[in-house]
Structure 1
Amino acid sequence: MVAPDSPLGGDPAHWWHATDDGRVQCDLCPRQCRLREGQRGFCFVRARRGDRLVLETYGRSSGFCLDPVEKKPLAHFHPGTSVLSFGTAGCNLACKYCQNWEISTSRQWDTLASQASPERIAEVARQRDARSVAFTYNDPVIFAEYAIDTAWACRQAGVAPIAVSAGCIGEAARQAFFAPMAAANIDLKGFTEEFYRKVTGARLDVVLDTLRYLVHETDVWTEITTLVIPGLNDSDQQLGRLSEWVATELGPDVPLHFSAFHPDNRMRDISPTPASTLRRARRLAKETGLHHVYLGNVHDPEGDTTWCPGCGAALIVRDWYRILDQRLTADGRCPDCGSPIPGRWDQHPGDFGRRRIPVRI
C-alpha cells in the first residue's frame, strides 16, 4: 500500500525489525522509531508500507551543485578540488538553527526535483572533473541505502565519496554506512547533553561514539565542525572541554573547524557569531594541543591557513576557498622541518576556487 501523499512505493530499507506489538522498528539511528501501517519516522522519509520499512527518497535529490571541497568543510582532503554535492529531504535531527531547513524539514515531494541513479551520479562527477561526491545539505544517514550505493558507484569510477553528517547513526548501520566513504566531516554541535537535547533534539554520546569509530576503526579521513552560537555553546568552558576531548580521544592531528552562526530557521533572535569569538575558540583549541584548527563563515586568512605544527611555517595558504599557495612535499610533509601533515594530498592543489556551479543530472 502506497501512502496517497507519496509518488513512490519506496525502496526496501535495511536496519529494521518487527516488534512483538505488531509495529516495525527502524534501527538506522538512535531514535528507533516504531511504526504502524502508513506511519513515517521522525526523518519523514522512512516509512512503513505493509510489513516492511521503505526509503521513499531513493534516487531522488533536492539538486546537485559543484562546490569547493573546502566548503564541506575539509581542509586536508585534496585541497582546491571540486566536489559534486547533493542531498534529499528530511532529517533525523531537529536543529533550531538549521541553515538548510527548507530541505531538511521539507514535507513536500516537489522538493525532490532531481532523479538520478548512483551510477549516473558517479558518471556526471567524473565528466565534470569532480574529485569527490558529497552527501550533504541534509544528513545522509537518513538516506543511507542511496548514499551507500552511490558511494560504491563513485569508488568504481575513481571518485571519492564524502559524508557530511551529524554522526547520529546506530551501531547496527554504522559500519555499512561508512565502509565506502573516503572522507567525512562530522558536526560536533556542542559539548553538553543539555545543548544537544534542547537545541538539536539529538544525543551527544552517540556523536562521540561515531567519531571514535571513524578515527580509530576506519581509514575514513575525518574532520570535525562546530557551529559556534552566541550564548549557547560559546563559553570558554564548553569550547575548552570540546577541544580537550578531540585532542585526548581522537588525537591532535584531527582538524577542527569552528564556524560562525547566522540567524536562521527558529533562531532568528540570536546575533551572528563575532569573528572575535571564533578566534578565541581557535586559541583555546590550540592551547589544548590541537594542531589544525580552522575558522569558517568569516574572512580570516590565518584561520584558513594550514600551519606546520613542527616549525610554524604556512603550508597551505587560503583566502576563503581559494588556494593561494601550497608548499607541502609530494608525501605530505613540511618542506622546512619535515613534519608529516596528515591528510589526503595531491602533488599539486586544485584551482576550483570559490565557484558554485549548479549541475543538471
Structure 2
Amino acid sequence: MHEARLYQKLEDNTVRCSLCSHRCTIREGKQGVCGVRINRSGTLYAATFGKVAAEAVDPIEKKPLFHFLPGTLSYSLGSIGCNFHCAHCQNWHISQQALETQALRDRSPEQGVERALASGSASIAWTYNEPTIWHEYPLAMGTLAREKNLGTIYVTNGYITEEGLREISSMLSAFRVDIKSFSDTFYRKVCGGRLQPVLDATVLAKELGLHIETVTLVIPGQNDSMEEMEALIRWVLENLGPDTPMHFTRFHPDYKMREVRPTETRTLEKIYERAKDLGIHYPYLGNVFNHPYESTYCPACGNLVIERSGFGVRMRGLKDHTCTECGGRIAYVSKID
C-alpha cells in the first residue's frame, strides 16, 4: 500500500491524520472515519491509492460544472469511502462500502492521464465518492494532467483541511463543492460533519484561484426554507462573489431517506428567482430535465447565451466571453492556461 501524506506520528503507534476536517486520531490497526486511511504499525497508509471503483467519460455538465470548459468531456474517476455518511447519499453503493467488500480496478496515475487524453476529454474529474480522502492519487495524476493541459476537478463535499487544500491546489483547476445546507444542525445530524469547515475551505479555494461552483440538493422539510436559502445565497455573494454559479438541485428519495418526497419544481424556481433578485448572476436548477433555468443568461440584458437541455449544450448568444446582444461579459473558463 501507499504511505499517506499529511499525518503526524504520536505515541504508542497512534497517528493523527490532518487531511480532512475530522482530523482523526487513529490507533494501530484502525481506520479513519473515511474507512480508507489505515494505521499499520504507526504508519498511515492510503489504502485506495490507484484503486478505482467507477470510471466514465462524462459531459462536464454532469458534474455539474456549467462555467468550466462548457460543452466538453471529462474523464471521471471514483473509488470507495467517504468522510461523510449522508443519509440521502446517491452514490452510497461505493461511498459507504468497506475495502473488503468491493472489487476495485488498478489504475496508475500515468494510465489515468493516458485514458483521459485518448477519450478526447478536456479534463479529469475525481468524483462519485469524496476525492479528498483519495488525496495522494489525485495529486499524482493531476500533476501529470496539468503538464498535458488537462483541466483538473474535485467534485467534493469540501470537508478538507487548509493543509490538504493548499497541497492539492498545486494541481487543481476547479472546486465543485456541495454546500449541503446552511445549518450546522443539518450537517451534524444528516452528514456526520460540520458546516463551518466547508465554508472555510470554499473561501480558501477561491483565494487560491480555483474555479468555484456550488451545489445544494434541496430536500423537502430538511433544508428548503427560504430563510435558509437566502442565508446561503447572501454568504456566497459576500464571500465568493456574484459570478459564482450556484446550482439548486431536485432531491429524489435514496439510501436512508426514502420516505422524503421529491422536491417540487416550484420550490426550486422560487429559490432560483430569489438568488437572481439578491444578485447571483448565474443560478441554475438541476435534476429538472429540459427546464429554462438550466441555461445561462446574460446578467446585464437577460439574453440567452448558453442553452442547455439535459447534458446537451448550445452556444447561442456568446462570442469571446461577451453577450452578442449587449456586449456584457460572461464569466466562464474556456481554456486551461
Structure 1 position 60, deviation (Å)? 0.6
Higher relative contact order (CA 8 A, sep 6+): 1
User: Quick check: 2:317–2:325 contact (8 Å CA) kept in 1?
Assistant: no
What is the alpha-carbon root mean square deviation over aligned residues? 1.3
What is the CA-CA distance between 1:154 and the residue it aligns to? Answer: 1.1
Equivalent residue for 1:333? 322
Tell me what 2:32 maps to.
Answer: 41
- The residue that corresponds to 2:297 in the other structure is 307
**Partners of 2:325 and 2:170 in 1: how far apart?**
36
- Determine the C-alpha separation between the residues in 2 that align with 1:95 and 1:129: 34
Please state if 1:274 is matched with 2:268. no
Alignment correspondent of 2:60: 69
Residue 83 of structure 1: SS of its match in structure 2? strand
Listed as ranges, the gaps of 5+ residues in structure 2 are: none
Tell me the amino acid that sits aligned with residue 329 of structure 1: K
Distance (whole Å) between structure 2 residues aligned to residue 183 and residue 218 of structure 1 = 11
1:345 to 329, 334, 337: 334
Which residue identity is paired with 1:288?
L
Kept after mapping to 2: 8 A contact 1:88/1:112: no
State yes or no: 1:93 paired with 2:84: yes
Supply the distance in 1 between the matched residues of 2:23 and 2:296 (Cα, whole angstroms): 40
2:327 aligned partner, one-letter code: G
Q: 1:161: Cα distance to partner?
A: 1.0
The answer for the alignment partner of 1:235 in structure 2 is 225
| Contact residue 123 and residue 157 of structure 1 kept, 8 A | no
- Alpha-carbon separation, structure 1, partners of 2:291 and 2:315: 12
Q: 1:151-174: CA deviations, max 9, x gaps? A: 111112222111000000112211
| Unmatched segments (≥5 aa) in structure 1 | 1-9, 347-361
Are the equivalent residues in 2 in contact too, given 1:261–1:272 (CA < 8 A)? yes
Q: Once the 2 structures are TM-superposed, how far is the Cα of residue 280 of structure 1 from its aligned partner?
A: 1.2
Q: 2:323 aligns to what SS in structure 1?
A: coil
For 2:136, give the aligned amino acid: E
Counterpart code for 2:323: C
**What's the counterpart of residue 120 of structure 1?**
111
1:29 Cα offset (Å): 1.0
Percent same amino acid among aligned pairs? 39
**Hey, what does 1:51 align to over in structure 2?**
42
1:106 is matched with which residue: 97, 104, 120?
A: 97
Per the alignment, do residues 112 and 88 of structure 1 end up closer, same or farther by CA in structure 2, a change over 3 Å counting? Answer: farther
The amino acid across from 1:314 in the alignment is L
Amino acid at match of 1:334: C
Superposed CA offset, 1:81-113 (max 9, x none): 111111110000111100000100001445343
Matches within 5 A, 1:175-254: 175-215=166-206, 217-254=207-244
Question: Separation in 2 of the partners of 1:256 and 1:179?
Answer: 25
**Residue equivalent to 1:297:** 287
The residue aligned with 1:18 is 9
CA distance in 2: counterparts of 1:63 and 1:316, whole angstroms: 30
Offset, 1:22: 4.7
Cα deviations across residues 51-76 of structure 1 (Å, max 9, x unaligned)? 21000000010021011100100001
2:334 is paired with a residue of what secondary structure?
coil
TM-score (norm 2): 0.96
Could you tell which deviates more after superposition, 249-258 or 296-305? 296-305
CA contact (8 A) 2:307 2:315 kept: yes
Find the aligned partners of 1:141 and 1:270 in 2 and give their Cα distance: 29
Residue 167 of structure 1 aligns with which residue? 158
1:20 shift after superposition: 4.4
CA contact 1:59–1:116 (8 Å) conserved in 2: yes
Q: Which residue of 1 aligns with 2:149?
A: 158
**Structure 2 counterpart of 1:30, from 21, 25, 43:** 21
Task: Report the TM-score when normalising by structure 1.
Answer: 0.90
- State the one-letter code of the partner of 1:63: A
Secondary structure of the corresponding residue to residue 135 of structure 2: helix
Letter in 1 for 2:304: A
Q: Tell me, what secondary structure is at the counterpart of 1:129?
A: coil
What is the deviation of 1:276? 1.1
- Give me the whole-angstrom Cα distance separating, in 1, the residues matched to 2:282 and 2:251: 21
Summarize deviations over 1:267-295 as a string: whole Å, max 9, x none.
01101111111111111211211000011
Are 2:114 and 1:130 aligned? Answer: no
Question: Is contact 1:62-1:114 (8 Å) kept?
Answer: yes
Pairwise CA distance, 1:300:
4.2
Letter of the aligned partner of 2:212 in structure 1?
T
Q: Deviations over 1:120-145 (max 9, x none)?
A: 11111101101111100001000101
Partner SS, residue 239 of structure 1: helix
